[in-house]
Structure 1
Amino acid sequence: MKHYLILLLLITAMDTSAQLTPYELSGKKETATYYQAIKHYEQLDKTYEQAKLLSYGNTDFGKPLHLLVLSKDKIFDPVAIRKSNNRILLINNGIHPGEPEGIDASMMLARDLLKGDLLPKDVVICIIPVYNIDGSFNRTGTSRANQNGPVAYGFRGNSKNYDLNRDFIKTDSKNAYSFQEIFNIWQPEIFVDTHTSNGADYQYVMTLIPTHKDKLNPVLSEYMTKTMLPTLYTEMKNSGYEMIPYVNSVEETPDAGITGFLESARYSTGYTTLHNTIGFMPETHMLKDYDKRVDATYKLLQIYINVVVRDAKIIGENKRKADEQVAKQTTFPITWILDETVSEDLEFKGYTAKQKPSEVSGIDRLYYDRNEPHTKIIKYWNTYKPSVSVTKPIAYIIPKAWDKVVGLLKLNNVKVQQLQKDTQIDVESYYVTDYKTMSSPFEGHYLHSNVKVNPIKQTLQFYEGDFVVYTNQRVNRYIIETLEPQAMDSFFNWNFFDSILGMKEHFSAYVFEDTAAELLKKNPEIRKKLEAQKAKDSSLSKNAEAQLDFIYKNSDYYEKTHSRYPIARLVNDTKITLK
């Protein structure tokens, strides 16, 4: 009997040890590697019927993207889950593997929920163990020079050196494609993407970027700002980790105030907004001890689960209402600017910012004196107003040559139809009249901005198989914010259509001189336009080449597709024969 008890104790101890994470086994100083994380979740899958580890697609590193699903009812079909009116909470970790708190916190949280039989009844929890698998293998302890631990961690860029938290629209990486597959299959109501911050020093371990209230559908924004956020802040304070909005300082230090972070659609929570999902980006503070950062993340994830369980019914109803409203919505803001006239007072617990001579340069440098903590009221500017809005067309017509665009629309649950036969259709076309372009590449692109367009009514020839996207869909925001060229993260701004911006034909001046003279004789309107332009621009009168170019661009010789955005807007209720 004595030997049996000793054996039982050894087996129990081994079982307990086997369920500890590498983070715990290291004395809370190390973060799990990719293989350790997947092994941990595979073991949970084997041990518990309420856990299933799924894999989707591929990544640039050649490994699939994993998804752990925790379901009390043991239902792992997202369609069946939605039919059962259960909520879905999606937690994403390791988009920046050098910010690994969520990786370790989620491993412990999943284990504790399963081991303690604590899974909620009406909420299914989905966890991506490590999103940037590529970067997690590029492991050092030095790539984040300002960060306090862990001992070693992954790298921000993936195998192609993309920052995956800038890739949710352009989708240059296989990681982003597989994530969108997961997201659009599971369609979560709430999304959490775990991070670590850079920037000023202050007393808080955890800061928070919620989906921006002014970009969310009003029904969702009302619930998030008045119900969900107050609970998150209160409960985090009660847990011992008082939380503050992400410290996006107006000046070098937070003393002059902070602004709300406006996440455009390139970011994870900006992307989820396009699908009427409320998103959050918790950011632990880089200078705090790693064990505190992990613990704060663990506790915040617990609170998210509790809130979603508590408000499961209203969260589902709000999502349904938002989807219905967006399908019927006619006007869509597509760019925003900070409203500097609206601010609120925010209690902020920081450290006194001081100057002292640098030991490197001898010049005064900034430092925060942790021996002088303070609590003060600072300004918080968190209201953005639309700067450009568009009225949606009845539909967009996309020539079949632009297959990447169509593929991404389909990936995002956009219903796409095709013309049954060659057809001339009255449409509105945009001609791009101006835009700014970055002087150096950003995430592999020379990103455009400040786009100006001139809408022209035209009758254009379309062909069998060209694509038609009607704007009566719950994913209208994804449709409009990718297809309208002026939108902040439109496909146009990400260079999908740069080929239209270059002319394919031109003229030889010595030949076109005679043609231009003949055009002026036969077309008084061209001469009138030329004289008017010369009156506006005195330099034109002295530039023969420029005058020829003006005549050319106002004649039938000029290619009509130059700078014409290839996706047409159907603005009249025209009957179209579709396949």
Structure 2
Amino acid sequence: MKYSLLFLILTITMKTFAQQTPYELSNKNQTATYQQAIDFYKQLAKVSPQAKFLSYGTTDFGKPLNLLVLSKNKVFDPAEIRKNNQRILLINNGIHPGEPEGIDASMMLARDLLKNNNLPDNVVICIIPVYNIDGSFNRSSTSRANQNGPELYGFRGNSKNYDLNRDFIKTDSKNSAAFQEIFNYWQPEIFVDTHTSNGADYQYTMTLIPTQKDKLNPILAGYLTDTMIPALYEEMKKKGFELIPYINSVENTPDAGITGFLETPRYSTGYAALHNTIGFMPETHMLKAYQKRVESTYQLLQTYVDLVSRDAKIIGENKRKADEATSRQKEFPLSWKLNENTHELLTFKGFAAKYKPSEVSGTDRLYYDRNDPYTKTIKYWNKFEPQLTVEKPLAYVIPKAWDKVVDLLKLNGVKLQELKEDKEMAVDVYYIADYKTASRPYEGHYIHNNVELTTKKQTLNFYKGDYIVYVDQPQNRYIMETLEPQATDSFFNWNFFDSILDQKEHYSAYVFEDTAAGLLKDNPDLKTKLNQKKVSDNTFAQNPSAQLEFVYKNSNYYEKTHLRYPIARLH
């Protein structure tokens, strides 16, 4: 009886490891549904002690975000994994479910690593089967009009119609919060987010967006640029899938050159960089056969596993050094710009761009002639420089009313100290001097930009339950790039603080006229400032309402909280 049970278990195990994915069972032009992927991973975890299937939080679709963890030594506690000096590789799939290569490739990779006992000793592999669960249920064959298969696939937007690869700072979706819980619990050293491209036609199946080197911690950037990227290119070429940087053309076609991609923190890899995690966004080419796209993704993911295992020691040392350096760092760039005067030369294998009459409009239209391939040298602009740099304060003081800010900081591992009693503090405060706002919504927000600030020293009352955030943590970049209003993806720019832009009290002019006259009589300095303004500004001198407003805003009647950024800087 005992041997029969053992035989049955072995038989089930062998069948599971021989189990083919929906992609393999089809004509290799079908992608797994969400439920098929989850059932597949659950079965792997059921029969293999080296796999564990976990659930985190929830998503806007009401289902939890899942994670498959592969660990050769059967350790599934990230703290113990780090104590064992093992690395953690996190693979995210289906953030855009219409770009599903990673969903299918990861299923085969997990199975094959377990089946062949090929899990590395020094790397734990974490796989999110499908991130945008919502969009994966919204299947069709038409939402990506430029894509060659698979037969059915999910939709880019989630159930709230958010593009989740723009949501890593603002966190409008529950998906984002669940992802951040996973990310900050496991703290991967390397992160891969699988995608499919749009754009020009060319000979490559796979393009690659690594974390922008110039905004990554220099220790990590050195390893990424000098070691990891060259190795990825070399190994993938050996496997028959030559890589090229993501084709971000400066004109209509790549012939005039391409630029690097600047992934700000709203994107997955830009978010990862805030935590000193090296990120990659592989983009298969949408016009290549789906089978080739899945195969190239499989080979790339296997290459990541091999490289992280090969370089596990140095990757771990670099992460530790980068975290220590970030804790001590005093100045932080908050925005970057492309250096248009510096470029390198890149060998590029493309197809000739030609024009022919459009059957729709009759005018000339662009097409790429696959019967006319070429190899040529093109320019590649990929040097980004800091556009704005800010010195960190000793700490930020956050009133407890701004609970979403506090919750996101906590979610990202930031240490906060709660005030135990009411306290008066001398602080620097920002006033919003000027800003621009987009005229159309983007991902549910009218985003601010070009923020200009004035700084004032004030003594303010803070209260029990307010928070102090000291800027001496490995999470300093997350702290600075969300709390400093000028940062590209700051909480301010994402409209977290729009209520401070409203003035709550004003005056009736006929009443305040008498009050203003009294203010000028009792305050000669104010009268002098008013007269100087009249002399220097002729338009102002001809505008009685503006003059009355000037007196009001330079008096104690004007609310000091109007346009005052509520998070103070402590020095």
Q: TM-score range by the shorter chain?
A: over 0.9
CA distance 1:508–1:322, shift in 2 (3 Å)? same
Q: What is the CA-CA distance between 1:15 and the residue it aligns to?
A: 2.6
Match of 2:308 in 1: 308
Q: What is the CA-CA distance between 1:18 and the residue it aligns to?
A: 6.2
Instruction: Return the letter of the residue paired with 1:119.
Output: L
Is 1:516 the equivalent of 2:540?
no
Residues 74-119 of structure 1 show CA distances to partners (whole Å, capped at 9, x for unaligned) of 0011111111110000000000000000000000000000000100
Instruction: Say whether the 8 Å CA contact 2:17–2:112 is kept in structure 1.
Output: no
Is 1:197 the equivalent of 2:197?
yes
Q: What is the 5 A alignment of 1:28-177?
A: 28-177=28-177
Question: How far, CA to CA, are the matches of 2:13 and 2:78 in structure 1?
Answer: 37
Instruction: Return the letter of the residue paired with 2:42.
Output: E
Match of 2:531 in 1: 531
Instruction: Return the letter of the residue paired with 2:568.
Output: A
Q: What is the CA-CA distance between 1:321 and the residue it aligns to?
A: 0.2
Question: How far, CA to CA, are the matches of 1:328 and 1:32 in structure 2?
Answer: 46
Is 1:553 the equivalent of 2:570?
no
Question: How far, CA to CA, are the matches of 1:529 and 1:115 in structure 2?
Answer: 80
Instruction: Return the letter of the residue paired with 2:224.
Output: M
Question: How far, CA to CA, are the matches of 1:161 and 1:357 in structure 2?
Answer: 36
Instruction: Return the letter of the residue paired with 2:494.
Output: W
Question: How far, CA to CA, are the matches of 2:534 and 2:31 in structure 1?
Answer: 68
Instruction: Say whether the 8 Å CA contact 2:87–2:124 is kept in structure 1.
Output: yes
| Deviation larger for 349-358 or 525-534 | 525-534
Question: 5+ unaligned residues in a row in structure 2: which ranges?
Answer: 1-7
Question: How far, CA to CA, are the matches of 1:471 and 1:17 in structure 2?
Answer: 48
Match of 1:577 in 2: none
Match of 1:576 in 2: none
Residues 263-283 of structure 1 show CA distances to partners (whole Å, capped at 9, x for unaligned) of 000000000000000000000
Instruction: Return the letter of the residue paired with 1:552.
Output: Y
Question: How far, CA to CA, are the matches of 2:17 and 2:141 in structure 1?
Answer: 26
The DSSP-based 3-state class of the residue aligned with 2:456 is strand
Residues 162-205 of structure 1 show CA distances to partners (whole Å, capped at 9, x for unaligned) of 00000000001000000000000000000000000011111110
Match of 2:5 in 1: none
Question: How far, CA to CA, are the matches of 1:526 and 1:151 in structure 2?
Answer: 73
Match of 1:448 in 2: 448
Question: How far, CA to CA, are the matches of 1:241 and 1:192 in structure 2?
Answer: 17
Is 1:240 the equivalent of 2:271?
no
Is 1:267 the equivalent of 2:270?
no
Question: How far, CA to CA, are the matches of 1:339 and 1:180 in structure 2?
Answer: 32
Instruction: Return the letter of the residue paired with 1:44.
Output: L
Is 1:341 the equivalent of 2:341?
yes
Residues 333-373 of structure 1 show CA distances to partners (whole Å, capped at 9, x for unaligned) of 00101111111001111111111110000011111111111
CA distance 1:15–1:503, shift in 2 (3 Å)? same
Instruction: Return the letter of the residue paired with 1:62.
Output: G
Question: How far, CA to CA, are the matches of 1:520 and 1:560 in structure 2?
Answer: 20
Instruction: Say whether the 8 Å CA contact 2:16–2:43 is kept in structure 1.
Output: no
CA distance 1:448–1:205, shift in 2 (3 Å)? same
Q: What is the 5 A alignment of 1:318-329?
A: 318-329=318-329
Match of 1:278 in 2: 278
Match of 2:565 in 1: 565
TM-score where L is the length of structure 2: 0.97
Q: What is the CA-CA distance between 1:546 and the residue it aligns to?
A: 1.1
Instruction: Return the letter of the residue paired with 2:94.
Output: G
Question: How far, CA to CA, are the matches of 2:516 and 2:257 in structure 1?
Answer: 60
Residues 385-404 of structure 1 show CA distances to partners (whole Å, capped at 9, x for unaligned) of 11111000000000010011
Match of 2:468 in 1: 468
Question: How far, CA to CA, are the matches of 2:509 and 2:153 in structure 1?
Answer: 62
Match of 1:507 in 2: 507
Question: How far, CA to CA, are the matches of 1:263 and 1:133 in structure 2?
Answer: 23
Q: What is the 5 A alignment of 1:470-489?
A: 470-489=470-489
Question: How far, CA to CA, are the matches of 2:107 and 2:529 in structure 1?
Answer: 70
Residues 434-477 of structure 1 show CA distances to partners (whole Å, capped at 9, x for unaligned) of 11111111101111111111111111111111100001101100
Match of 1:288 in 2: 288
Match of 1:26 in 2: 26
The DSSP-based 3-state class of the residue aligned with 1:107 is helix
Question: How far, CA to CA, are the matches of 1:106 and 1:536 in structure 2?
Answer: 68
Question: How far, CA to CA, are the matches of 1:196 and 1:491 in structure 2?
Answer: 29
Question: 5+ unaligned residues in a row in structure 1: which ranges?
Answer: 1-7, 572-579
Q: What is the CA-CA distance between 1:262 and the residue it aligns to?
A: 0.3
Instruction: Return the letter of the residue paired with 1:371.
Output: N
Match of 2:384 in 1: 384
Match of 1:5 in 2: none
Q: What is the CA-CA distance between 1:21 and the residue it aligns to?
A: 0.1
The DSSP-based 3-state class of the residue aligned with 1:495 is coil
Question: How far, CA to CA, are the matches of 2:300 and 2:266 in structure 1?
Answer: 25
TM-score where L is the length of structure 1: 0.96
Question: How far, CA to CA, are the matches of 1:363 and 1:253 in structure 2?
Answer: 18
Residues 317-336 of structure 1 show CA distances to partners (whole Å, capped at 9, x for unaligned) of 00000000000000000010
Is 1:226 the equivalent of 2:226?
yes
The DSSP-based 3-state class of the residue aligned with 2:215 is coil
CA distance 1:116–1:14, shift in 2 (3 Å)? closer
Q: CA RMSD in A?
A: 1.4
Match of 2:492 in 1: 492
Instruction: Say whether the 8 Å CA contact 2:16–2:47 is kept in structure 1.
Output: no
| Deviation larger for 528-537 or 489-498 | 528-537
Instruction: Return the letter of the residue paired with 2:564.
Output: R
The DSSP-based 3-state class of the residue aligned with 2:492 is coil
Residues 255-310 of structure 1 show CA distances to partners (whole Å, capped at 9, x for unaligned) of 11111000000000000000000000000000000000000000000110110000
Equivalent residue pairs, number? 563
Q: What is the CA-CA distance between 1:532 and the residue it aligns to?
A: 2.4
